Amino acid sequence: MLAALARRAATALAVVAGVVTLTFFLLRLAPGDPVELLLGPTATPAQLAAQRHALALDRPLVVQYAAWLGRFARGEWGASIATGRPVRALLGEAVPATLELVGLSLMLSYLFGVAVGAVQATARPRVDTALSVATVTLFAVPGYWLGLMLVMVFTYWARVLPAFGRAGLDGDLLADGPWLVDRLRHLALPLATLTLIGVGGIARFVRGAMFDVLGQPFIRTAHAKGVSPRQVTRRHVVRNALIPIVILFGLSFPALFSGAVLVEYVFAWPGVGRRLVEAVLARDYPVVMAATTVSAVLVVVGNLLADVLVAWIDPRIRHASSPT
């Protein structure tokens, strides 16, 4: 098991290295000059050249990449080109907001998604069809579009929920109950956007996993022995469908983190996703590279976590991974 995990970890490092390398060169080759955006249209060629030299952007790309990689490996993430602030500080301020949004969304998505998927797998065809239409629609809808529709309904039409930010203008002056209410009201729309999309995908996956188990011979044997349908679902179907669900859970956090990028930008949520979009628009190379690297690490850690959880749940996989 440890040998298999070590091989997967080595593969994960190679994936991170490939993502980082590809991002670095594509970002540099994309149209747009961060120095021109920083100094503005009135800057002279001499000023532009001096600023590029100060930022080491006039060196060959391979040299820039080697220098950035060395600094990043030592924990030196550099400073933002647009603001001059340390990248570590910028992302450090944004991480709590993203973890709050993504963590709550992941919990609610699985809570409702597993419930809806289980109902679909065991309900009558008409109920299954109706829920399938709803979940497929939610899964197919772009997150930014769904967010804008929620803003239109609950902010501009009903005028019951705020659309932007993590707190109101007077949020720093509130305390206790009013402070919590203000935070929950600002959290409601971005959380609903991510949760609804997550529920759609998870419900479809759970439905398929449970249908696969329901078609196995041991399920028919359990019914033939007189076991009640509820006990068959609880003891056999859910337990055996848990393995693919756990794999999906390991991949959900990084996927949800990536999906939150545009949702955070739509709702002006002060998280990593919003900082990443702003950095891309400003061609802020250090911020984009740091945020992309963190996202890639989350993806591979999620994969490794899923492998460990599956091996822990299913001894057959654990023994198959062990050397004979």
At 204-255, the pLDDT tens digits run: 888 888 877 777 777 777 777 777 777 777 666 776 777 777 777 766 766 6
Q: What mean pLDDT is predicted for residues 25-53?
A: 86
Radius of gyration over alpha carbons of the chain, in Å? 24
**Residues of the domain holding 138:** 2-12+93-321
Residue 70 lies in a domain: no
Residue 59 lies in a domain: no
Contact 20, 300 (CB under 8 A): no
Q: What is the CATH number of the domain that holds 147?
A: 1.10.3720.10
pLDDT tens column, 40-67: 888 888 988 898 888 888 888 899 999 9
Indicate if the alpha-carbon torsion angle 211, 217, 223, 227 is positive or negative: negative
Q: What mean pLDDT is predicted for residues 9-33?
A: 86
Q: Let me know if 157 is exposed, middle or buried by CB neighbors in 10 A (0-12, 13-18, 19+).
A: exposed
83 vs 55, 95, 274, 285, 321, CA distance in Å?
Answer: 13, 18, 15, 12, 49
| pLDDT greater than 90 at residue 190 | yes
Residue 18 lies in a domain: no
At 305, which amino acid appears? L
| pLDDT greater than 70 at residue 148 | yes
pLDDT tens column, 164-179: 888 777 666 667 778 8
pTM, full prediction: 0.80
Residue 81 lies in a domain: no
Residue 49 lies in a domain: no
Residue 61 lies in a domain: no
Residue 39 lies in a domain: no
DSSP string, 206-260: HHHHHHHHHTSHHHHHHHHTT--HHHHIIIIIHHHHHHHHHHHHHHHHHHHHHHH
CA 190 to chain centre: 13
For residue 1, the model assigns a pLDDT of 60
List 79's β-bridge partners, or say none.
Answer: 86
Residue 72 lies in a domain: no
Q: Which of 13, 96, 28, 76 is nearest to 280 (CA)?
A: 28
DSSP string, 86-97: BHHHHHHHHHHH
**Count of structural domains, the chain:** 1
